[in-house]
Amino acid sequence: MENPRIRIFSTPSCPYCYTLKEFLAKKGFSFEDIDVGKDESARQLLLEKTGQMGVPAIAIGEEFIVGFEKKKICELLDIK
């Protein structure tokens, strides 16, 4: 199975964002890091898809998860 596109919506001051990015990097996943503090269209997309502005938010393919929901992320990425 090909790895899905992973996008992380974050801010530089968010400690949970760093934790999520470190977790994915250690598991060997590449991802696009989007700073919602600087990217207005990303903020709008996040609000449209999740109904909130909380970070970190992760998009795995077309599925959005707000927060570092490790169990759900592992399920979607088939991480054991």
Beta bridge partners of 34: 9
pLDDT of residue 32: 97
pLDDT of residue 2: 67
**Cα(6)–Cα(64) distance, rounded to whole angstroms?**
10
pTM for this predicted structure: 0.91
pLDDT of residue 22: 97
Q: Name the residue ranges covered by the structural domains of the chain.
A: 11-77
CATH of the structural domain 11-77, one choice from 3.90.420.10, 3.30.70.100, 3.40.30.10, 3.40.50.720? 3.40.30.10
pLDDT of residue 80: 84
pLDDT of residue 4: 86
Intervals of the chain under pLDDT 50: 1
Unique residue bearing structure tokens 């992973």? 6
Amino acid letter for position 37? G
pLDDT of residue 61: 92
